[in-house]
Amino acid sequence: MRQFLKRRLANLSLRFLLSSVIFIASVIFFVLITRSVLGPEQHRMDIAAIKAFAKETTTTLRDIMIGISFLASSPFLTVAYLLLLGWYSFFHKSWRRGLATAIIGIGGSLVTHFLKVYFQRPRPANPLSDPLLTYSFPSGHSSAGFIFYGLLIYLVSKSNLSPGYKILTGILLAALSLLIGLSRIILRFHYLSDVIGGFCIGAAWLSLSIYLLEHYPVSSSNPKTNSSRK
C-alpha cells in the first residue's frame, strides 16, 4: 500500500499540486466569506470600506473607475474572447484551443450567476452610476476579470516572449484585475466581501481550468498537425 501511494505521489506534478492548493484555498476562503454575507448583521469591514472610499471619491476618480470597470463587463469580455478565438483560429490553426478559452470564461460567469441567485444579497445603496438590478454577492466583474486576465497571464507565460516581458505583462494584468475589483467598491456596486468572494471564485475556476488545459491539451484542428503527432 505504501509503495502504491509513493508511486502515485511521485506522478503528481508540481503544477497539479499548485492548482490543487489554489483551488482548495480559494474554496475555503470563499466559504469563510459567506459567513459574513449570511450573518444577521452586515460585515463591519464592508461598511468601513464603503465609507472610506466615499470620502475620497471625486468626479474624475468615478469616471476613471467606470472605465476600468468596463474592462470586465460582459460586452468587453465577449469581444475579447471572440478575438482570442480568432487569434487561435487564424494564427495558430487551433480553433479548439480558442473555443476552450471562451468556454472557461462562459463557465466562470455561469458559476458566479448561480451563486448570486443562491445568496440573493442586495447591492449597496446609492451607487455612483446607474443602479444594477442583479444581486451583489459574489462580484461578477471581479470573478470574470480575474479569470480573463489570469488566463492571459497563463497564455503569456506559455508564449515565446522573454522572461522579463512575461513578468512585466503578468504584473500589469494582475494589477488590472485588482483595480477592477477596487472599482466595483468605489462605484458602490459591491461590498468588499463581494469582491473578495469574486476573486475566490475566479481563482478556483481558473486553477481548475488551467489544470484541465494542461492535463487534457486541446489538439490542433490542422489535419497535418494531427497526423504528424501520430
- 23-77 residue pLDDT tens: 899 999 998 888 877 765 567 788 888 888 887 778 888 899 999 999 999 999 9
DSSP 3-state of 205: helix
Higher pLDDT: 129 or 209? It is 209
Q: Which of 14, 23, 19 is nearest to 202 (CA)?
A: 23
Please tell me the predicted confidence (pLDDT) of residue 64.
92
Question: What grid cell was written down for 33?
Answer: 466569506
User: Could you tell me if 190 and 139 are in contact, meaning their C-beta atoms sit under 8 angstroms apart?
Assistant: yes
Q: What is the pTM of this model?
A: 0.83
What cell was used for 216? 487534457
- Distance from C-alpha of 151 to C-alpha of 206, rounded to nearest angstrom: 7
The domain limits of the chain are: 16-221
Q: What is the pLDDT of residue 35?
A: 80
- Percentage of the chain beyond pLDDT 90 is 38
Kindly tell me if the per-residue pLDDT of 88 is higher than 60: yes
pLDDT of residue 19: 79
How sure is the predictor about 6, in pLDDT bands with cuts at 50, 70 and 90? low
Spatial distance between the Cα atoms of 57 and 103, rounded to a whole number of angstroms: 37
Burial of 35 (0-12, 13-18, 19+ CB in 10 A): exposed
What's the confidence (pLDDT) of residue 228?
A: 41
Identity of the amino acid at 185? I
Q: Identify the CATH class of 16-221.
A: mainly alpha
